[in-house]
Structure 1
Amino acid sequence: MKLSVRLQNFNLPPQEALPLAKKMGLDGVQLTIGSGPHAPENLDSKARQRLKETVAQLGLRITAAGAGGPEFVYDDPERRQALLTRTREVMQLAADLEIPVCISHIGIIPEDESDPVRAHMVAAVSAAAQIAADHGVIMAIETGPESPFVLRSFIDQVNSPALKVNYDPANFVIWPALLAKRSGKKYCEREALEAFIPTEGVNVLGPYIVHVHAKDALVEPSGEARETPLGEGWVRWNRFFDLLDRYGFDGYIAIERERSGDKLAQIQQAADYLRSLELHRK
């Protein structure tokens, strides 16, 4: 099991967070390059080279980069062009840093394939995926606001070899509760888990998964979603990794901690849990 961590979750300057990742025995880090200190406009060619050298000297790899938004839902030509210009800048940075995967939140995909918003998204994501391919980078959609079935149909519709998936099983727990709250509907656990299948969704998206977020969550009786330590939520981790093995996944498992509290302790707990899980699965 190759372990990574979302560097931003340390809540520390990169020069302090990188050595900590190494000290924890992790294999790599996921950067955030859509904004912040590692955004394209904040790293000139010399800074990019220095960052590469720093990571390499620590014996780490940059396993992926979070490109963030904006959402790929615009039908306005000027806004779409601005989006694609930004995509080109981000993919060039990823190529310069030799980052294999750029993770994107593309917006909420409509279920109906005839929805005009979906058509706009297909066109925009197709163009973005081509930009990624031109730079030798994989564009990975982060799982979340739509079910695995809807995401799979969208990826099939785009039909680009450069478009893959960053699988975050906890997002399939969290998002149905968020969507129910937004719509004013009562959250139904049975319906949510049947539609979004957090663990079994690997059977739907398996061929496209290139990177994974290790995050866990549950939904309280009140209908509020809550992130938990790994192993204390609704993700069935043994089954999850069995399914990844079935589909030949050999990528990185990146620890992601978005809850408040002692980030270092949370990241260490997650790393310890995953290593223990791997030990008992052998």
Structure 2
Amino acid sequence: MKLGMISHYSNEALSYVKSKGLSYVEFTINHHENEFFDALSETMKLLSQHKQHVLSVGRWGTDRITKDGVNQDELLVNKKMIDACVSLNAPVFVTGVNYVSELSESQNMTYALAYLNELMTYANDKKIKLAVYNCRWNNFIVGPDTWDIVLKEVPGIGIKYDPSHAIYDFKNYLKEIKDYGKYIYHFHLKGALIVDNERVDDPPAGLDMTNWKAVMGLLYFHGYQGGLSIEPHSHIWKHELGDFGIDYTIDFFKPMIKGEK
């Protein structure tokens, strides 16, 4: 497994990741995609300069479908993201599909499958893995009920998994990893903390309630060899405290990763 973290593609951001002793980054391009595309050549130079590699590129929160079907403009952007994966030598592109309230559950799934199948065909041609994220941010492909359909109807697609989303949905994240681990293409390390059924904070992974040792055991059980991407996500853990939290997470996970020192 490869330990990295979500980062911007600027020199300052990549230098910060390098200062943490990490050689892997993830880019999440939810907005300002044209700036990302325009900067690709410079990003490739910076990655080479810092001796860093890209674990995945992802796009969260956008409308992939509308009441009339697949959003062709957004589909085109996602295809360009896959092209960017090729340029950056990133093995995985992460996407999702929004739920359209004017449509029935069945029609939403029909349009979702149309979008995912077209994107999957494109990803296959480019030899890039396609994964759906399990976050509910404008996405309804988040758990077993929808995974079972999508995994069957879109051959080759996988899952980007983050235990915190299952925790906050009061689902059994260990069972989900046990049952669907062979489909996981990318993994987020984000803390989750619930007290008395109330979401308190997303502290650094390792300082939260997730049973990370069991999670890692399950990933090894499934032979997972992909990325483990640290996702700082707290409004409390910022600045010096946030910096300490990232260091803690790195030190917490390294002993559990074969080959890490």
TM tier, smaller: 0.7 to 0.9
Name 1:214's counterpart in structure 2: 189
Structure 1 equivalent of residue 5 of structure 2: 5
Q: What's the TM-score, normalizing by structure 1? A: 0.78
Is 1:269 paired with 2:248?
yes
Instruction: Determine which of 108, 128, 144 is the counterpart of 2:135.
Output: 144
Contact 2:47 2:53 in 1 (8 A): yes
Instruction: Give the partner amino acid of 2:245.
Output: Q
CA distance 1:75–1:84, shift in 2 (3 Å): same
Q: By how many angstroms is 1:199 displaced?
A: 2.3
Q: 1:20-40, CA deviations, whole angstroms, 9 ceiling, x for partnerless residues? A: 21121112000123424xx24
Superposed displacement of residue 274, structure 1: 1.0
Equivalenced residues, count:
250
Give 1:222 shift. Answer: 5.5
Inter-CA distance 131–173: structure 2 relative to 1 (3 Å threshold): same
Q: 1:231 to 1:131 in 2, by over 3 A?
A: same
Q: Secondary structure, in 3 states, of the residue corresponding to 1:120? A: helix
Letter in 2 for 1:25: G
1:1-282 to structure 2, matched below 5 A, reads: 1-8=1-8, 14-36=10-32, 39-44=33-38, 47-77=39-69, 80-107=71-98, 115-145=106-136, 148-161=143-156, 163-174=157-168, 176=169, 192=170, 196-221=171-196, 223-224=198-199, 226-260=201-235, 261-262=238-239, 263-278=242-257
Segments of structure 1 that go 5 or more residues without pairing to the other structure are: 177-191
Deviation at 1:148, TM superposition (A): 3.3
Q: Per-residue deviation at 1:42?
A: 4.4
Deviation by residue 1:86-124 (Cα, 9 ceiling, x = unmatched): 2222222222222211112323599xx972212221111
The sequence identity of aligned pairs, in percent, is: 20
Structure 1 stretches of 4+ moved >6 Å: none
Structure 1 residue 49: Cα displacement: 2.6
Q: Helix, strand or coil: the match of 1:199?
A: helix
RMSD over equivalenced CA pairs, Å: 2.7
CA contact (8 A) 1:72 1:125 kept: no
Q: TM-score w.r.t. structure 2 length?
A: 0.84
Higher mean displacement: 65-74 or 84-93: 65-74
Rate the CA distance shift 1:159–1:66 in 2: closer, same or farther, 3 A: closer
1:66 counterpart letter in structure 2: G
Secondary structure of 1:259's partner? coil
Q: Which position in structure 2 is the counterpart of 1:185? A: none
* One-letter amino acid matched to 1:132: A
Q: Is the 8 A contact 1:4 1:253 kept in 2?
A: yes
* Distance change >3 Å, CA 40–CA 98, structure 1 → 2: farther
| Local SS of the residue matching 1:144 | coil
Asked if the contact 1:103/1:139 (under 8 Å) is kept, the reply is yes
Contact 2:203 2:233 in 1 (8 A): no
Residue 224 of structure 1 aligns to a residue whose secondary structure is: strand
C-alpha displacement at 1:150, in angstroms? Answer: 2.0
Higher alpha-carbon deviation: 230-239 or 24-33 = 230-239
Q: Using the TM superposition, give the Cα deviation of residue 230 of structure 1 relative to its aligned residue in structure 2, in angstroms.
A: 1.8
State the shift of 1:131 in Å: 2.1
Structure 2 residues without counterparts, runs of 5 or longer:
none
Which residue in the other structure is 1:180 paired with? none
Q: Aligned AA for 1:165? A: I
